[in-house]
Homo-oligomer: A and B are copies of this chain.
Amino acid sequence: MYLERIETTGLAHFSYLITDGGVAAVIDPRRDVDIYLEIARREGVDIRHIFETHRNEDLISGAAALSKLTGARVYHGPNPAGNIAYADIVREPFQVSIGNLRLEVLETPGHTDDSISIAIYDEAYPDGAVGVFTGDALFVGDVGRTDFYQDREAEMAGKLWDSLQRLLTLGDQVIVYPAHGAGSVCGSGVAERAFSTLGHERRNNRRLSLASREAFVAAKAAEHHYQPPYFSIVERLNLEGAAPRNNSFSPPVLSLKDLRAHKPDHLIDIRSVTGFLGGHVEGAQALPVSMISAFAGWYIGETETIGLIADRAEDATIAIDHLGRIGFDQVIGAALNPLAMAASGKPLKTVPIVDVDTVAERTKTSDGWTLLDVRSIEEFEAGHVPGASHFYVGDVLAACDKPDLSGPATIMCGSGARATVAASALLRCGYTDIDVFIGSFKAWQAAGKPVEGA
């Protein structure tokens, strides 16, 4: 009897493989499904069951691909937003047995109409469930967002409240296995800690501890969540059943000249933030490899081609994995070593950085200067540098005609990373006189400077 959590960084996604008696089930597989096959091989088990807790909007499901490779059945909850071509629709009291384990479906709508949870029972120790896969219904420290269906937000929030009450009836002793951890776009208050139980959540979860269904619906209505444009692509692919990743594919390492000759629609510089600031190729969009999952989907079109600029080929490979998980397969190649680019005669561009003292000075004296904070609106409202304007980094990426900057601007965020992404986008769009507040809000706080809106 074995349960493994597979964490997909960037998306903060958790999928699971659970097995007993030589048979395994996979919960919410990601698109690059090799990892499940490897675990199955290592554990000597046969994957026969695949559960989707709901139709994902932020990542491509690997259920169709894994089913094709293994012959496993795919189970999906009732009322999906379309025909799930590759899955059986299951309702309560659907259950499957694997060895001594029994997996029972619970309908837990709210995040989406088709959300289910799957309770785990051990027949050898049968008194009460021992765990539950909660999908995007319940996270550690938070619950799922309920803003996906236009004009139905209050209805969905109410449904989620009801679903959560049902989950709690499983008992305090039940271990919670959610589909996302901290950093996901699917919940903004998720705990750093990945392990919890229904009992610990009942006591500590900020939403579960609300007094009533009404208070819950109100709290959900007050939340703000972003919806990157790629969600609509992913939703469509997760109905059809996305093709598996071709894991033999590895984009060639090319010289910058050869890479440009392919005329990629996008040139993404996946190196470190200071690597980009200190010298980059004109026209490249800064998107450090760890930020691809969060931000590539804001500005890249489904069929647009991509060239990568990286410090090393391994990083390009990781970037390709991240891109593929959200539906972008069109990477043409990678150019390494920006120094070699410079040596071939192509001058590098830099972006100036400024520190706390400079920003503090400017806030007092600079006319026509903008301090642009690109964090989420929730972060901004929780506290920001006095006088700063807000414009979300995703929105900067999504369209070149905004924000409205007349004159020099300093871009900031929490640490300087998202600020660099946004600054890079602005420079690509033709803005000039842009610099980056390195350290950003954290440095500002560490220096004990005054904060507005906290």
| B-binding residues in A (CB < 8 A) | 1-3, 20, 22, 33-34, 37-38, 40-42, 44-47, 69-70, 100, 122, 124-128, 130-131, 141, 171-175, 191-200, 202-205, 244, 247-250, 252-255, 258, 271-280, 311-314, 317, 333, 336, 338-340, 342-348, 350-353, 355-357, 414-417, 438-440, 442-443, 446-447
* Contact of A345 (CB < 8 Å), options: B22, B204, B356: B356
A343 and B439 contact, Cβ closer than 8 Å, known pairs A122-B191, A353-B350: yes
Q: A22-B254, A130-B197, A347-B439 are in contact. List 4 more A-B contacts (CB 8 A).
A: A125-B200, A171-B172, A345-B356, A347-B355
* Contact of A40 (CB < 8 Å), options: B131, B197, B253, B440: B253
Residue of B nearest to A251 (CB): B41
Q: What are 19 A-B interface contacts by the 8 Å CB criterion?
A: A1-B194, A33-B248, A40-B252, A41-B317, A46-B252, A46-B258, A122-B191, A125-B196, A131-B195, A174-B197, A174-B199, A175-B197, A272-B272, A276-B278, A277-B278, A339-B416, A342-B438, A344-B439, A345-B356
A33 CB contacts on chain B under 8 angstroms: 248
Closest 10 pairs between A and B when the two form their complex, measured CB to CB: A278-B278, A173-B199, A345-B446, A343-B442, A342-B439, A277-B278, A274-B279, A125-B204, A274-B278, A347-B355
Taking the closest CB of chain B, its distance from the CB of A319, in whole angstroms, is 13
Taking the closest CB of chain B, its distance from the CB of A48, in whole angstroms, is 9
Distance, CA A256 to CA B70, complexed state (A)? 18
A344 CB contacts on chain B under 8 angstroms: 439, 442-443, 446
* Contact of A438 (CB < 8 Å), options: B202, B279, B355, B446: B279
Distance, CA A349 to CA B210, complexed state (A)? 48
A199 and B200 contact, Cβ closer than 8 Å, known pairs A37-B250, A252-B40, A356-B347: no
B20, A447: Cβ atoms closer than 8 Å: no
Distance, CA A131 to CA B173, complexed state (A)? 11
A22 CB contacts on chain B under 8 angstroms: 253-255
A343, B130: Cβ atoms closer than 8 Å: no
Distance, CA A152 to CA B433, complexed state (A)? 62
